[in-house]
Each structure stands twice: as structure tokens, then as C-alpha cells.
Amino acid sequence: MSETERRISPEDVRHVARLARLALDDDEIGLYASQLSAILEHVDAVRRLDTANVPPTAHPFPVENVLRDDAVTASLDRATVLAQAPLAESDCFRVPRIMGEAP
């Protein structure tokens, strides 16, 4: 097994897919294991870079918190917004259960 193939295993792909909430089939898991390994190999110059005393840049220019005046203004129409939802009910977005059954 080469260095590249070792880097990202199918188990790693399953773990990352779970974090990303992506349902992948077995073919995709195999494909992404090899492609992600190749991509990480390609970006390895960044991982190996000597960055002592180099600060990180998250944004090209300094970002400041921007606050508008605390005045009441119109917001989006509720019916218009809910009309775009896959499922809405009683002025709310309807989703499947998010917690287990009560004991």
C-alpha cells in the first residue's frame, strides 16, 4: 500500500461524511478515499511549510462588526418564506423527529 493510499481510508471518509451530513454509497466512499488522498498529497507543501511567526489570515482585510441602527424595519414576508420550504405547518418548518422516544 503506497503512502498516498494510506492517507485517507474508507473509514476516514465515513467519519468525515457523517460530520458533513452526507449520505454516500460504497462507490462514492471508495472514490473519495482515493481522490481525497491525492488532493491532500497535492496540498502537502502547505502542511510542511515553516510558519513560525507567521500569523494566520482569515480575511483579506480587517473585518469589523457592523451594526445597523436599532430601528424596526420590515422583514421578509412569512408566507413567502414558508412557501419555499419542503414542508411547513402552522407557520413553522416541519422536520422529522430530532430526539428519541420518551421512555
Partner 1 sequence: MTSSRGPEFPSLVDIAASVRSGERSARAVLAQSLGRVRDLEGDLHCFNEVTLEAAEADADAVDQMVRSGLDPGPLAGVPVALKDNLCTVGVPTTCSSRILEGWLPPYDATVVTRLRLAGAIPIGKTNLDEFAMGSSTENSAFGPTRNPWDITRVPGGSSGGSAAAVACGMVPLSFGSDTGGSIRQPAALCGIVGVKPTYGVVSRYGLIAFASSLDQIGPFATTVADAALGLEVVAGHDPMDSTSLERPAPSLLASLGDGVSGLRIGIIDDFLSDVSPECGAAVIAAAEALAAAGAEVDRVKIPELLLGLPAYYLIAPAEASSNLSRYDGVRYGLRVDGPDAETMNARTRGEGFGPEVKRRIMIGTYALSAGYYDAYYGQAQKARTIVIRAFEAAYRNFDVLLTPTTPSVAFPFGSKVDDPIEMYLCDLCSIPSSLAGHPAASVPFALSPEGLPIGVQVLAPALGEVQMMRVAASLEQAAPPGARGPVTP
Residues of this chain that interact with partner 1 (CB under 8 A) are 8, 12-13, 16-24, 28, 32, 35-36, 38-40, 42-47, 49, 51, 54-61, 63, 65-66, 68, 76-77, 80-81, 83-87, 93, 95-98
**Residues 23, 3 contacting (CB under 8 angstroms):** no
**Complex with partner 1: residue 86 or 103, whichever CB lies closer:** 86
Strands 88-89 and 92-93: antiparallel
Listed in sequence order, the residues at least 6 apart from 13 whose beta carbon sits closer than 8 Å to its beta carbon are 24, 29, 32, 33, 36
> How near is the Cβ of 48 to partner 1 at its closest, in Å?
8
Task: Enter the C-alpha cell of residue 70.
Answer: 436599532
Nearest distance, CB of residue 100 and partner 1, angstroms? 9
CB of 1 to partner 1, least distance (A): 20
